[in-house]
């Protein structure tokens, strides 16, 4: 069931943050088949997103088992050309990060991505 917050609150958050966060690129890689040697044939698609880079506290890392070099990337859902998924890459703040986990808030307004630098 979708939360009653998902529509109006997500729109208000997107309107409030639009243009105020870091511009970023979400790269989705899709395997489209196999070549004659059995290697995967992939295609990529880039999407404009907006968000910010954050870090986890030492206390939270210890309790949740998060590696020391992982970062948190918060993306505004309504400002994303596509939803991030595990294995996607995000270019933000001059670096590329691969998505390890994605969490959604109850209002479907943000994507909280646990990522590592690639």
Percent of the chain with pLDDT over 70: 95
Residue 105: predicted pLDDT = 86
Task: Give the pTM.
Answer: 0.87
Alpha-carbon dihedral of residues 29, 34, 35, 37, nearest 10 degrees?
A: 120
**What does the alpha-carbon distance between residue 118 and residue 112 come to, in Å, rounded to a whole number?**
18
Number of domains within the chain = 1
| pLDDT tens readout for residues 78-112 | 999 999 999 999 999 999 999 999 998 888 899 99
Does residue 26 form part of some domain? yes
Does residue 24 form part of some domain? yes
CATH number of the domain where residue 66 is located:
2.40.10.270
pLDDT reading at 9 higher than 70: yes
Residue 98 CA to its chain's centroid (Å): 9
62 contacts 116 by C-beta, under 8 angstroms = no
| pLDDT tens readout for residues 25-81 | 999 999 889 999 999 999 999 999 999 999 999 999 999 999 999 999 999 999 999
Conformation bin of residue 95: beta by default, left when phi > 0, alpha when psi is -120 to 50: beta
Residue 106: predicted pLDDT = 84
Does residue 69 form part of some domain? yes
**What does the alpha-carbon distance between residue 16 and residue 11 come to, in Å, rounded to a whole number?**
9
Strand partners, 47: 26
Closest CA to 91 of 73, 69, 66: 73
Residue 3: predicted pLDDT = 60
Domain hosting 38: range is 8-117
């Amino acid at each position: 069931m979708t939360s009653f917050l998902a529509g109006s609150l997500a729109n208000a958050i997107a309107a409030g943050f639009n243009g105020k966060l870091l511009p970023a690129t979400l790269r989705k890689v899709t395997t489209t088949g196999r070549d004659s040697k059995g290697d995967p044939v992939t295609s990529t698609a880039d999407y404009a997103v907006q968000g910010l880079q954050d870090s986890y506290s030492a206390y939270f890392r210890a309790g949740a088992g998060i590696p020391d070099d992982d970062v948190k990337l918060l993306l505004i859902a309504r400002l994303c050309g596509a939803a991030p998924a595990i294995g996607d890459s995000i270019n933000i703040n001059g670096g590329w990060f691969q998505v390890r986990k994605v969490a959604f808030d109850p209002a479907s307004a943000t994507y909280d991505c646990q990522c590592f630098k690639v």
